[in-house]
Amino acid sequence: MAVAFFMESLDSTILNTAVPMIAGALKVPPLSMKSVLSSYTLSLAVFIPISSWIADRFGTRRVFSSAIAVFTLGSLLCGISNNIHFLVFCRILQGCGGAMRALSCHSIFYPSGV
């Protein structure tokens, strides 16, 4: 659980400091990186309700394991992305994994819905 929290905390802060370097590597202006920054947060907000249904249907532990896998896959794809559009897609994938992780982690600690 602690590693999952660390992964999400690191992911949400590291991009802010690396925007100039990433923009330079992708050959885009730094201001065009706004979509990359906001896509993760927006996808978290969209996928939290969906992940609640998924956790009820398939079980919280299975969803938590899948969430870590989806988040890790999104992170790997972000690292190898070569254009801003693919990077935004990968950040959305990370947000989906992060939403599933956050909700299923809460359900594992508080199974009665407290």
Could you tell me the residue range of the domain that residue 59 belongs to? 35-114
- Quote the pLDDT of residue 102: 76
Residue 10 lies in a domain: no
pLDDT: is 97 or 5 the higher one? 97
Residue 17 lies in a domain: no
Residue 14 lies in a domain: no
Distance of CA 46 to the CA centre of its chain: 12
Note the pLDDT tens digit of each residue in 46-103.
Answer: 998 888 888 889 988 899 899 999 999 999 999 999 999 999 999 999 999 988 887 6
Residue 30 lies in a domain: no
- Quote the pLDDT of residue 73: 96
Whether this prediction's pTM lies above 0.85 is answered by no
CA distance 92 to 73: 11
How many CB atoms are closer than 10 A to CB 29?
A: 9
Residue 22 lies in a domain: no
Helices (H) and strands (E) in the chain, counts: 4, 0
Q: Is 44 exposed, middle or buried (0-12, 13-18, 19+ CB in 10 A)?
A: buried
- Quote the pLDDT of residue 88: 96
If one counts the domains in the chain, the total is 1
